[in-house]
Amino acid sequence: MGWKEAAEPVLTRMPAVRRPEGHVPFKRKLMWTAGILMLYFFLTNITLFGMQSGGATDLFGEFRAILAGSQGSVLQVGIGPIVTASIVLQLLGGANLLGLDTDDPRDQVLYQGLQKLLVVMMVILTGLPMVFAGGFLPAQQSLQLGGFMLDQTGVQMLMFAQIFVGGVLILYMDEVVSKWGVGSGIGLFIIAGVSQRLVTGLVQPSQGGFFFDWYRILTGQVEVGSLVSTSGLQTLLINEGHIIALLTTVLIFGIVVYAESVRVEIPLSHARVKGARGRFPVKLIYASVLPMILVRAVQANVQFMGQIMNSQWGGMPSWLGTYSSQGQPTGGFFYYVAPIYSPEDWMWFSANVAQEWWQVMIRIGIDVTFMVVGGAIFAIFWVETTDMGPESTAKQIQNSGMQIPGFRQNVGVIEKVMERYIPQVTVIGGALVGLLAVWANMLGTIGGVSGTGLLLAVSITYKLYEEIAEEQMMEMHPMMRQMFGGE
């Protein structure tokens, strides 16, 4: 008996959101999407019952914009377990260890059940250290719950139960949006988190808000000094002025929108309908920027392990990692593999960086290499596992009755033409997105949003706009649904 036969009774019984039987009207899709978004914001504002006020450390730190959720809330783990489970499945599928054929309906059910099971396991593995490793989510010493008095261990178990429920909820919220709404839940939650931080960074009426800080500069509350001095330029460009952060944010928006429009268009014609022509676009960012979530998730998990090891075994060797009182790596392996989060992390000539210039350069080199190479590798994995590769694309074109003018109507011929473009564009696009993410992190953005988070938000919003336009077109012209496979 193979593993599929042994696991089938469990995997096929995993709860799932029912698929719509027919076409879902566009207005209803918008209602489901808006409802899930409101539920997401509602859950991020529910504080864990039993947690002490203050003193909590966010283990995800700067990765929070990508992994969504909210520190100290029911959605503490965010989409982290979903992303980690996807990485594991992609690696297993890429090595052909699962033996699942995604074209087979039975194997599709097993794959989806296996993914849900892995997400549940990741929620447990992520939530347990957060609650029971001291200092990250401090629990109250005791708690009166109805007629029961819980000790600290009981309170921790209660907090873990809330985190577990939140992790499972966000899994099925993502599934509801994917089947009944517009776009995907993961993309929607990332947009929500990043947009919230961007708006807050612009309008918050306190130090750190763009407009408030400029009000303080213009009214003389902040001393700028000479514009030709290092301190004056740093104040305007980096600190209270946020000029570089504003320019970086605007440039990222422009570059991503432009890159989404850069494409190689392969001409197509219908084999039977004379005059029916079309084009298959191979975009520069063919795999989208979603593989960047996987790359950053790997880094987040590495830093997560470092934080846990530091809290439990503070005396670990210095070559492995040294940490500041705020829990940030300052030396060793975990410092060098930590991503660059902001300008203060790499400007060795400022007082904020305690490391030597060569240590900072090593960290930058590792971060750039990891993002560029990792972006290209995960982009290839993404294309292959989402049926966007040359073979799957050739089958889709063949099944639609289209062909490439001047070539025989044969799947193998179409696949060879696709192989000239898709693999190369996938690698180039993945590497380019990785480089953009590091560049945005090094220069900083409005609201302290990470470069990867901003890239994801802009790209997902652009694709969401395209999908909404497509939905509206199919709603206006019902015959278009048959062409797009909507019915």
Determine the pLDDT at residue 440.
86
Q: CA dist 411 to 283, 389, 395, Å?
A: 22, 13, 6
Q: Tell me the two tokens of residue 399.
A: 């099944």
pTM score: 0.82
Placement of tokens 């514009």 in the chain: 227
Determine the pLDDT at residue 55.
64
Determine the pLDDT at residue 157.
93
Q: DSSP assignment, residue 355? A: S
For 429-465, what is each residue's pLDDT tens digit?
Answer: 999 999 988 988 888 888 878 778 888 888 888 888 8
Helices then strands, counting H and E runs in the chain, come out as: 18, 7
| Per-residue burial over 397-433, b = 16 or more CB atoms within 10 Å of its CB, e = otherwise | bbeeebbbeeeeeeeeebbebbeebbeebbbebbbbb
Placement of tokens 């400029």 in the chain: 214
Please state the domain extents for the chain.
32-181, 188-220+228-249+454-481, 262-444
Other C-beta atoms closer than 10 Å to the C-beta of 306 total 23
For 381-411, what is each residue's pLDDT tens digit?
Answer: 888 877 788 988 888 888 877 888 877 778 8
For 73-91, what is each residue's pLDDT tens digit?
Answer: 999 999 989 988 888 887 7
Residues whose CB falls within 8 Å of the CB of residue 33, separated by 6 or more in sequence, listed in order: 177, 181, 182, 183, 188
Determine the pLDDT at residue 276.
66
Q: How many CA atoms lie within 13 A of 46 on its CB side?
A: 14
Summarize the confidence of residues 93-112 as an average pLDDT. Answer: 78
Res. 277: pLDDT tops 80: no
Q: Tell me the two tokens of residue 487.
A: 């019915």
Run of H or E residues at 26: helix 26-44
Res. 100: pLDDT tops 90: no
* CATH architecture for segment(s) 32-181: Orthogonal Bundle (1.10)
Using a 10 angstrom Cβ sphere, with 0-12 exposed, 13-18 middle and 19 or more buried, the burial of residue 15 is exposed
Write down how long the chain is.
487
Local confidence band at 135 (pLDDT 50, 70, 90 cut-offs): low
Res. 173: pLDDT tops 90: yes
Determine the pLDDT at residue 119.
95
* Mean pLDDT, all residues of the chain: 85
